[in-house]
Amino acid sequence: MKIETIAIHAGNHTDKSTGAVVQPLVQSTTFERNKDGGFTSGYSYSRAANPNRTALETVLAKLEQGVDAAAFSSGNAAGMAVFQSLQPGTHIIAPDDMYHGLRNQLKTLFAGILEFDFIDINNQEVLNAHIKPNTGLMWIETPSNPLLKVTDIKKVVGIAHAKGIKVVCDNTFATPVCQLPILLGADMVMHSSTKYFGGHSDLTGGVLITAEDNDWWRKIHTIQEMGGAIPSPFDCYMLVRSLKTLPYRMRGHINNAQLLTEFLSVHPKVEQVLYPGLPLHPQYEIAKDQMLAFGGMFSFCLKGGEAEAKRVINALKLFTRATSLGGVESLIEHRASVEGPDTKTPFNLLRVSAGLEHIDDLIDDLQQALG
Ligand code: PLP
């Protein structure tokens, strides 16, 4: 089945007892056992499993072409489950441009427990030079946050698997509408569901999807159940609801991002536009090859430095000045300020999440703000 059909049907089942077309929300934390102590429904306690979470995990596994999914209370909790699943002393290779919250998580919470290097993962020589006997994981994020760097998933997987190293791909910016890392060889996919999956800037969540049911995956499940960083039934219900429109929402985000970046790339006040859908993007050919579409996120750098970037962001009327992404409303942020003192992001860079407003209104707003 095609992604539009999977998104609507894979996570939902009509309720047999009432005929309700939409699967009901089950808030109950506990489930009645049989007289023999068993539980034929498969549910005993909501931290271990809940019908709304099962529905969410079912649809997410199918959307990403994996065999199973585990939902978490945030994207960072999903990432943390991966890091917690590794043997202490494992070395991780991660990209130099990576969501700062997860990079900081590694540096703050896993210092002394795991080893890590943040490198230009697309550079084969650099990548090979950093592989050590204890390297157990290559973490990919593509397109990356906030520089929209594209990593060649197949190439990294080839190098990693030849040495028995696992590959996890953060697919948050792309979504399965634009990119299917498992089909390109990744072992696991990670998402912040807070973004396009939720799609309305009103819930926090994360997910891991696996290509294979193996010992590593069972350990992830144990971390989910015992660690308890699970999403509430209501958030799972909301996510299943939002995912039904993901493919159609993504078309709007992608279309608006493409047109906005084309407008910005010829604007005299703009120094550079970072979007994988522009032929000038340094990894355009890789993006064209591995992506089904280029996504709704982009960044652009202003001539005139930080002061000009801050002037423009404050002159916008329709774009909302806020972090995060993937909602229906267009968001813009001065990324270096959000990332804090250790940022490597250029100070003249603004990051944009293209929303679903009419493109003419978005371009008019940018036009007036750029002046
Ligand atoms: N990965 C990426 C690419 C992100 O942009 C984010 C959040 O912005 C995360 C992971 C973390 O997700 P969450 O904020 O849901 O914990």
In this structure, the answer to whether residues 232 and 114 fall within a common structural domain is yes
Q: How much is the pLDDT for 342?
A: 84
Identify whether residues 189 and 259 lie together within a single domain: no
DSSP 31: -
- What band does 207 get if pLDDT is binned at 50, 70 and 90? very high
Mean local confidence (pLDDT), 20-49: 94
Q: Is the preceding peptide bond at 146 cis, omega within 30 degrees of 0? A: yes
| Domain closes at, from 214, 243, 272 | 243
Characterize 301-321 residue by residue with b for buried, 16 or more Cβ atoms within 10 angstroms of its Cβ, and e for exposed. Answer: bbeeeeebbbebbeebebbee
User: Does residue 23 have a pLDDT over 90?
Assistant: yes
CB atoms within 10 A of CB 91: 18
| Residue 12 confidence (pLDDT) | 86
Mean predicted confidence (pLDDT) in 104-123: 97
For residue 194, the domain's CATH number is 3.40.640.10
Answer yes or no: is pLDDT of 41 > 90: no
Taking CB atoms within 8 Å and a gap of at least 24, the contacts of 216-223 are 216/85, 216/166, 216/187, 217/68, 217/188, 219/85, 220/70, 220/81, 220/82, 220/85, 221/70, 223/81, 223/84, 223/85
Whether 99 lines ligand 1, by a CB cut-off of 6 Å, is yes
- Where residue 274 falls among pLDDT bands split at 50, 70, 90? very high
Last residue of a domain, one of 243, 269, 301: 243
Distance CA 42, CA 230 (A): 18
Ligand 1 center–CA 55 separation, angstroms: 22
pLDDT digits (tens, 9 = 90+) for 236-271: 999 999 999 999 999 999 999 999 999 999 999 999
- For residues 228 and 262, membership in a common domain is answered with no
Does the C-beta of 90 come closer than 6 Å to ligand 1? no
What does pLDDT average to over the chain?
Answer: 97
Q: Is 99 a catalytic residue?
A: yes
- Cβ of 353 closer than 6 Å to ligand 1, yes or no, is no
- Is the CB of 206 inside a 6 Å radius of any atom of ligand 1? yes
Amino acid at 232: S
Q: Which domain holds residue 82?
A: 3-243
Average the pLDDT over 19-35 and give the result: 96
DSSP 307-357: HHHHHHHHH-SSSEE-S---SSS-EEEEHHHHH-TT--S-TTEEEEE--SS
45 is catalytic: no
Report the pLDDT value the prediction gives residue 129, as an integer from 0 to 100. Answer: 98
103 and 194 inside one domain? yes
pLDDT at 214: 98
Print burial letters for 122-140: b (CB count within 10 Å at least 16), e (below 16). beeeebeebbeeebbbbbb
**In contact, 277 and 257? CB cutoff 8 Å:** yes
For 195-204, what is the mean pLDDT? 98
Position 40 pLDDT exceeds 90 = no
74 lines ligand 1 (CB under 6 A): yes
Residue of 132, 133, 77 whose CA lies nearest to 105: 77
In a 10 Å sphere around its CB, with 0-12 CB exposed, 13-18 middle and 19+ buried, how is residue 269 labelled? middle
Strands 297-302 and 349-353: antiparallel
Does the structure show a pLDDT above 90 at 202?
yes
Same domain, yes or no, for 234 and 282? Answer: no
> How much distance in Å is there from the Cα of 84 to the middle of ligand 1?
17
Is ligand 1 within 6 A of the CB of residue 256? Answer: no
User: Candidates 73, 100, 145, 149: which one to mutate for ligand 1, based on the most atoms within 8 Å of Cβ?
Assistant: 145
Phi then psi for residue 152, to 5 deg, are -75, 100
pLDDT of residue 341: 87
Active site residue 166: no
Q: Are residues 227 and 252 in the same domain?
A: no
Whether 65 and 41 map to the same domain: the answer is yes
- Measured torsion, CA atoms of residues 258, 207, 197, 318, in degrees rounded to the nearest 10: -70
Query: Are residue 157 and residue 106 in the same domain, yes or no?
Result: yes
Nearest CA to ligand 1 atom 4: 99
Res 353 pLDDT > 90: yes
Indicate if 119 and 148 belong to the same structural domain.
yes
Q: Both 227 and 287 in a single domain?
A: no
Alpha carbon 165 to its chain's center: 22
CATH number at residue 275: 3.90.1150.10
Question: How many domains does the chain contain in total?
Answer: 2
Q: What is the pLDDT of residues 322-334, one digit of tens each?
A: 999 999 999 999 9
Q: What is the mean pLDDT of residues 312-316?
A: 98
Same domain, 187 and 263: no
Residue 347 and residue 310: Cα distance in Å, rounded?
9
Tokens representing 264 are 């910005």
* 96, 123 Cβ separation under 8 angstroms: no
Give the pLDDT confidence score for residue 88 in this predicted structure. 98
Options 47, 154, 241, 251, the catalytic residue: 47
What is the spatial order of strands in the sheet that 166-170 belongs to? Answer: 68-72, 206-210, 188-192, 166-170, 135-141, 91-95, 115-119
Provide the percentage of residues in the chain whose pLDDT is more than 70.
100
Q: Are residues 326 and 338 in the same domain?
A: yes
Average pLDDT of span 169-173: 98
pTM over 0.95: yes
Boundary of a domain, candidates 243, 259, 282: 243
